[in-house]
Structure formats: structure tokens, C-alpha cells
Amino acid sequence: MRISALLLTLVLTPLVSAQPLDYDQPPVLYSKSRPDNAITRLQARIDKGQAKFSFTDDHGYLASLLKELDIPQSSQVLVFSKTSLQRSRISPKTPRALYFNDDVYVGFCWRGDMLEISAADPALGTVYYTLDQEPKDVPRFDRHTDNCLSCHGSTLTRGVPGHLIRSVFPDRAGDPILSLGSARVDHTTPLALRWGGWYVTGASGKQGHRGNLILRDKPRDPPKENPDGVNVTDLKSRFTVANYLTNHSDLVALMVLEHQAEMHNKIVRASYETRVALYQQADFDRILDRKTEGLSESTYRRVQIACEPLVRYLFFNGEAALTEKIEGTSTFAADFAARGPRDGKGRSLREFDLQTRMFKYPCSYLIYSKSLDGLPAEAKEFVFRRIREVLNGEDRSSEFDHLTPEDRIAIREILQETKPDLFR
């Protein structure tokens, strides 16, 4: 007897929605699919002899890798909590250094066995690699689809391969004191909760944070003050800074890193959820021997649920307000802003404010990223339409109250010149 479409939908839909997202199953096939990102392209250049790496005793391939990937050394930030793959190498005396640009993140441990790399991949989301710190004629990146994902592909990253920025209370060895709690950090996190387990250089005025804090004992309650950790500009008394490429763990770089990491996560989640929704719609069509034109109502709703958080985050909804001027210690802010692009009036989404909010124009620079452009067509169409609605003033809901009419006009004008495909 033929089951009606309505009955089948009622029976199957709860089963589908109750299942966690398994990105190793169709349509994503994360582990089996071939990546295409900055690291795979660099490996191809290495194999052809078009990219030459130099190896040093202190930093191995680090400087060469950053140069080939166009990652500025000024992006260096330092984390000393034992919260990564090479945890035995990490301590307050030997922090782990992170470097990043819009697409790639590189982790370096002093005397470490490997460099740790994650790359934004338009199809697969975040892909993880290591590069052995041993001199070789042809350096080779090794892809990881297992051990990295125990943290970076779990509920901590909303169930997709992604990035995780945490603030913890570290003891003298760098171990997190988990009984005191921790915070998952992005641009919505108040400064007072950020940077536990991280070194921080820069000025934040009276705005407190948890950076540079090491607990000498294990108290029952989190400390309320961090007087020696705020407004620090020199780390020389805390560890051997000469072991690293720069002397900084720049406060502004940390803020950008936190925004960017979660923005990448939002893009990946939107991509995966949309692909699964489309795959399941096609599956239903096959089972019911039908052909749906465009998106079904339920599939459209799933795309909307997947993509709307991305749109809101892109416009810095819920951003933690700054109450005083923020200033870093390195050239990061200038290096970052110089990357553009700029419109005819010289304006850029990379311009900083750093007095009341992070950026002068609250719209993420990752709007230009290959990851966003690589969204499934249905997701990209939804996201681009929603961006236009917000900028044109059609959406004046409370979620976007932080965008003044002047903000919307300026962002729209910048994007009309620097990302014209958004308005086609």
C-alpha cells in the first residue's frame, strides 16, 4: 500500500532532525573528500619546485610557511594553557604561538615536533594538517581527520569541524583548573571573561580581562581581580620572548582572531546544514517518486535556520561593547587594515574603531572570503538577500538595532564597489 507523502514526512522528519550531524556521511563525506584550500595549493607548488622552504634550528619551517601563506608575523598571539595537540610542550614558560590570515591558522610550539595548521576549505569547512619540524627535501603536509576532531569537531564547535577559542583559569603548569569554569570566546564575549590562559600585550584602560593570569594555588572561586595582567606591554619577565618571532601577543590580533574563528564556524555550519537539507529533499523525492521544483517549504525553513545566525554574526550582532580605547603593541592593526579592499572614498571593512566597538563599519571582512562564496547556491542566495535587506533598511528588526542608518549606507556603498556580485 502506498504511504501518503504527508504521512511519510511526519514519520521521517523527526528521525532526521533527531540525528546529530554526521559529516562523514553523504553528502559531506568529510574524511573521504579531497580538500581544495590554501594548503593543498601550497603543497602542489612545493611538489613542482615552485615554493622553496628554509629550515632553522629555532623555528623549523615556521617563517617560510608564514611567508608562503602570506600570514603576517604581527598576527602572533600566545596561549600557555595546555589546550591543544602538543600540550606537553606548552606551559607559561613555553607558550604556543598562533599566526593567522583570513584563511589559514598556524600553531607553533617551541621545540615542538610539528607545526599545526587549519585551513578554511570552501567545500569541507575547516581542514586540519601538520607539518613535521624535520628538514626534508620536499616538505609534506599531513591531513588529520581523527585526533584533531575530538575537540574541533564536537559539540564545542557546534558539531562541525571548526575552531575553538577558550578562556580558562590556568595553574602554574598551564593546566586549566576546570572547577573554576571556562568560557568559549567570540566577539560577543565581554572582555572581562576573555584571554584566560593567554598572554596579552596592549592597553585596555580600566577594562579588565583574564590575560596573563597564572594561579599559584587552586582556589575554590575564580579571582575577581587581575591587576598584574591588564595593560601589559612587555612579556620579557614572564618567559623567553626571544624564542618567538616577535615579542607580542597583541590584544587587537586576539580580538580579530576570536571574531574570525567563530565566523568560519558559522559559515561551515550553514554550508553543512544546507547540503544535508538538499540531500534529504532529493531523497524524499526519490522515495515518493516526485520532483520538487526549487526548495520545498520545509527545506527552505531549514536553510533559513542554518543561515540566519551567520547573517547576524556577520553584522556583529551582540558584540561586546568597549568602554575605553583599545590599543595593541605590534603593527598588527596597521598590517591588517592595509589588506583592504577599499572603495573610491578609501573606506574598508578592515578599518578599526577600537573605542566603542572593534570595527568602524560593523560588517565582517570575511564577506570577501572564498568560504562564504563557496556556500551552496541556495544558502548563498539566502545570505546575500538577507544582507541586502539589512543594508537597504528593509529589515529593521531589533537584532540589527546596533546598525545606524549611517552604518548601513556606508557598508552598502563600500560593498557596492568592492563586492558587486552581492547586488546582482
Q: What is the pLDDT of residues 394-417, one digit of tens each?
A: 999 999 999 999 999 999 999 999
Q: State how far Cα 264 lies from the chain centre.
A: 4
Greatest mean pLDDT among 69-78, 221-230, 290-299? 69-78
In sequence order, the β-bridge partners of residue 198 are 79
Distance between CA atoms of residues 318 and 320, nearest Å: 6
Mean pLDDT of 237-262: 98
pLDDT for 19 equals 45
Over residues 180-200, the mean pLDDT reads: 97
Residue 121 lies in a domain: no
- The whole-number average pLDDT for the span 228-254 is 97
Phi, psi of 121 (to 5 degrees): -115, 120
- Whether pLDDT at 387 is above 90: yes
Mean pLDDT, the chain, whole residue set: 92
Q: What digits encode the pLDDT tens for the residues 355-374? A: 999 999 999 999 999 999 99
15, pLDDT greater than 50: no
Residue 231 lies in a domain: no
Banded model confidence at residue 149, pLDDT cuts 50, 70, 90 = low
400 falls within a domain? yes
Nearest one of 184, 175, 210, 182 to 196, comparing CA atoms: 210
42 assigned to some structural domain: no
Q: Would you say 363 and 348 are in contact if contact means Cβ atoms under 8 Å apart?
A: no
Is position 136 within any domain?
Answer: no
Indicate the pTM of the whole model.
0.92
In a domain, 373, yes or no: yes
How many domains does one find in the chain?
A: 1
pLDDT at 18 over 50: no
Mean pLDDT, residues 344-360: 98
Domain membership of residue 307 (yes or no) is: yes
pLDDT at residue 293 in the model: 86
Q: Could you tell me the three cell numbers for 335?
A: 598590517
Q: Is 113 exposed, middle or buried, given 0-12, 13-18 or 19+ CB atoms closer than 10 A?
A: middle
Residue appearing with cell numbers 563600500: 414
| Digit-coded pLDDT (tens) for 75-113 | 999 999 998 778 899 999 999 999 999 999 999 999 999
SS3 215: strand
Return the percentage of the chain with pLDDT > 90, whole number. 84
Q: What pLDDT shows up at residue 289?
A: 84
Cα–Cα distances in Å, from 409 out to 160, 369, 416?
34, 22, 10
Residue 23's pLDDT band (cuts 50, 70, 90) = confident
Residues 6+ apart with CB under 8 A from 263: 313, 314, 364, 366
Query: What's the domain range around 356?
Result: 265-423
Residue 257 counted as domain residue = no
What percent of the chain is predicted at pLDDT more than 70? 92
Determine the average pLDDT of the residues in 109-126. Answer: 95
pLDDT over 90 at 284, yes or no:
no
Indicate the range of 90-94, 152-156, 325-329 predicted with least confidence: 152-156
